[in-house]
């Protein structure tokens, strides 16, 4: 059940981010790199 919830939130979040990337001022590459860093930090912080 947790896997389905994770996949669901992942799809919803990626959809929202995709819509936002069309309207953000900087090139989407920079936003993508920033979101990757934030995602990695979330996983690293939650592990301890």
**What value does the mean pLDDT take over residues 5-9?**
77
Note whether 31 and 24 are within 8 A (CB).
Answer: yes
Q: Please state the φ and ψ torsions of residue 24, each to the nearest 5 degrees.
A: -75, 150
Q: Please tell me the predicted confidence (pLDDT) of residue 45.
A: 80
pLDDT band of 8, cuts 50, 70, 90:
confident
* Residue 3 pLDDT greater than 80, yes or no: no
Which residue segment(s) compose the domain that 39 sits in? 2-47
Element (H, E) at 20: helix 2-21
Indicate the angle between helix axes 28-47 and 2-21, nearest 10 degrees: 150
For the stretch 10-42, pLDDT in tens is 888 888 877 777 777 777 677 778 878 887 887
pLDDT of the residue at 47: 59
Domain count, the chain: 1
């Amino acid at each position: 059940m947790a896997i389905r919830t994770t996949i669901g939130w992942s799809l919803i979040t990626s959809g929202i981010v995709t819509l936002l990337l069309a309207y953000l001022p900087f090139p989407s590459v920079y936003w993508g790199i920033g979101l990757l860093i934030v995602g990695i930090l979330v996983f690293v912080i939650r592990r301890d």
